[in-house]
Structure 1
């Protein structure tokens, strides 16, 4: 593993509705064999839905594949997921995650956070951290 450690994928205020957008990726994770993820949603008031999608890339950030999705509404919550590249898997068709879940076994050499929200939140924050090994 070239760059093991703990990384902040995103820490932001959630306010007006946000279309699906990607935050700055973490690069140079060649040899990543596992990642533990923690999404911390601290709810203030109002809003409707907020989704934090962690993605990986196999082609230097041209295409992003969803590996974990965390969905939040109008309550504070901390959610976790663990993804392992070394887990024995069969061949499967890739599908973006449409609701909470994981695509285990997929780890490229980059990680990024995608955010989408509806409604107008106030005093609400989201942070997502990744422990890479």
Structure 2
């Protein structure tokens, strides 16, 4: 039987390692389910999710050089809200803004005004002193 990329097959877990599980899928052919492909949620220890002897549905992700990459999570529906952007990701689909060259140009020292005061401060030390004064620490 030829293994087709994209097909969903049943297999039996034959081995567990910290990085994933080995699953026998057909005629003695074994593939790897990487730990990142076990579940839609974070898996710290694969032993919490799978054990040797488990029968699982897997999707064939890749067949290359005799190595078969499998996924359990691709056979399961995505949890609700999983299509949210990740933290730190770029949510601007238009790409970087043009005209800036990617670097902010400095025009020299900047002075800031504290809340309720017209007096500027130039350093973090000045701001900390101001906050300490407002907090009654000085």
Same fold (TM over 0.5): no
TM-score, normalised relative to structure 1: 0.23
> Which of the two has greater strand per residue?
1
Q: Under a length normalisation based on structure 2, what TM-score does the superposition of the two structures give?
A: 0.22
Q: Which has the larger radius of gyration?
A: 2
Choose between structure 1 and 2: higher helix proportion: 2
